[in-house]
Structure formats: C-alpha cells, structure tokens
A = this chain, B = another copy of it.
Amino acid sequence: MTTLNRPGTPAGHVCGIDTAMEVIGGKWKVLILWALHEHPCRRFGELRRLIPGITEKVLASHMRELEADGVVHRVAYDVVPPRVEYSLTEDGKRLNDALQPLAAWGRERAAG
C-alpha cells in the first residue's frame, strides 16, 4: 500500500491503521510474521518451507523490508554454507499481538 501522506487528511493521519498496513501490506508478510511467532528464530530455508508457495526472491525482499521496518531481527553467520537466522523484535512481537484479534475475526468468519 503506497502511503497517503496527505497532511490534511484527518482519517488517514489519525487512525494509525495505514501505518500498520504499510508494514504488513506485502502479500506474504503476515504469514512470515505468524511463522516467526510460532517458530521463533528460523533460518531462511526453514521459513521458505514453512510458507509453501513463496519464492526465494520474494521471501528475501520481504525479509529485508521487515528488517528495515524494525519488526524482524536478522543475524548472519559468516560460514559456508551461509547461515542466517531471523527472529521477531519486541516491536514485531507487539505487532503480532495486535494481529491476534484480526486473526480471531478471520477464523470466526471462516468457521461461520
């Protein structure tokens, strides 16, 4: 979701949901967040296997964006073969918590 950035926009500026939507707006981001919530500290390949259908390119770019947004922490070990571990930051954990009611709404609707 491209930012709205309209200083005079009351709804867009006050509600704060658009801020959150910019972070979780990618196609697979909530799934990545969820996977890291259920399986803390996963490697790149493990994440890819946890999220069937995602390609390496998209996973890599999403992880870079999530890291830049400060919700995911990345640790790279300088070994061969490469080893990189991802985990949620405190902010990422709080974001995940904030997503729980939404998940509950979705589950309720899916069950309904």
Q: List residues of chain A with CB under 8 Å of any chain B CB.
A: 1-2, 4, 6, 8-12, 15-21, 24, 27, 30-31, 34-35, 38, 50-53, 91, 94-95, 97-110
Contact = CB atoms under 8 A, between A and B. Distances in A.
A96 to B, nearest CB: 10
B18 A30 contact: yes
Contacts of A38: 11
Copies in the complex: 2
Given A20-B102, A99-B102, A102-B98, A51 B107 contact: no
A69 B17 CA distance: 20
Contact of A17 (B11, B12, B103): B103
A100 B17 CA distance: 8
A4 B6 CA distance: 33
Contact of A106 (B1, B8, B20): B20
